[in-house]
Amino acid sequence: MSGAGLRIAVDGRVATVTINRPDVLNALNTELLEELLATLTDLGADPGVGVVVLTGEGDRSFIAGADIKEMAGKTPLEARAYSELGQEIAHKLETMRKPTIAAVNGYALGGGCEMALACDVRLASENAEFGQPEINLGIIPGWGASQRLARATNIGYAKELILTGRRVDAAEALERGLVQHVHPADELMPATWKMAAEMASKSPVALYYAKEATNRSLHGDIGGNLVHEADLYSLMFSTDDAREGLSAFVEKRQASFVGK
């Protein structure tokens, strides 16, 4: 599959979505955002896809942010729609029924950092750079960084990055918990696909409920969230996959999951 600005490759149960606009370091314009939303919606509904990987074309950039040239001409109402579109994509990455992994292969700035933050797990290359430079443009983040950066790290660090626009390298991002692992550039995609394939071998329904329960850990009331966890946990016992996984362990064999 391919489209203007996006490349989609499916290997086994792992789909890799590559932002392909290297001339502008994979900056996201409206056309590309709409394509990305449609693609994630399709992949989310495809039972043949177990895990979605997001990365950028080339060896310099993951996503260098929203398209500044496009943004420069926007009216307030257009800017509102642009913010809502980016937020909708981030929300989909965060809540879709399958794991999403950001393979950050270079600049993850502004909207690029925000898309990475919305993925379930972030892996980075040694040359990756993160930042929220909107303040340098006289604006503020609009695709979720004001919420997700503090939740991924801590509020003081989030405010420092958002209020200064400072770019941080992969080593600092790792130290601060912004990413889970850093790899030499040529090892990033193999490491990402290895993790993705491992996740994709699990029960799709268990993956979804595990993601849904864990998504609540930084929101709301812990008492209600634990009741919700117990509800999802007990619901698992209605699935073929739970019967299969539990009996495969007892019978000392490899489990084979079907997603129901």
Q: Is 114 a catalytic residue?
A: yes
Min dist CB 91 to ligand COA, Å, is 19
Residue selected from 68, 197, 213, 232 as contacting ligand COA according to rule CB under 6 A:
68
> Residue 67, interface with ligand COA (CB under 6 A)?
yes
127/203 with CB nearer ligand COA:
127
Q: Using the rule CB under 6 A, is 135 a contact of ligand COA?
A: no
Q: Which of 133, 145, 168, 196 binds ligand COA (CB under 6 A)?
A: 133
SS3 at position 204: helix
For the record, the structure tokens of 143 come out as: 């695709």
Residue 128 interacts with ligand COA (CB under 6 A): yes or no:
no
Determine if 24 is a binding residue for ligand COA (CB under 6 A): yes
In angstroms, rounded to a whole number, what is the distance separating the alpha carbons of residues 197 and 199? 5
Report the alpha-carbon distance of residue 10 to residue 153 in Å, rounded.
32
The yes or no reply on residue 107 touching ligand COA (CB under 6 A) is yes
Tokens of 166: 């400072």
Write the interaction track for ligand COA spanning residues 26-55; mark x where CB under 6 A is met and - where it is not.
-x----------------------------
Structure tokens, 177: 């918990």
Give catalytic status of residue 57 as yes or no.
no
Among 64, 124, 170, 189, binds ligand COA (CB under 6 A): 64
The residues, ordered by sequence, that sit 6+ positions from 5 with a Cβ below 8 Å of its Cβ are 19, 20, 21, 31, 32, 35
Alpha helix stretches (DSSP H) within the chain: 30-45, 68-71, 76-95, 111-118, 145-152, 155-164, 170-175, 185-200, 204-215, 222-236, 240-250
Cα radius of gyration rounded to whole Å, the chain? 19
Is 109 a binder of ligand COA (CB under 6 A)? yes
Among 5, 86, 110, 144, indicate the residue that binds ligand COA (CB under 6 A).
110
Write out the residues near ligand COA by the rule CB under 6 A. Answer: 24-25, 27, 64-69, 107, 109-111, 133-134
Q: Report, as residue numbers or ranges, the catalytic residues.
A: 114, 134
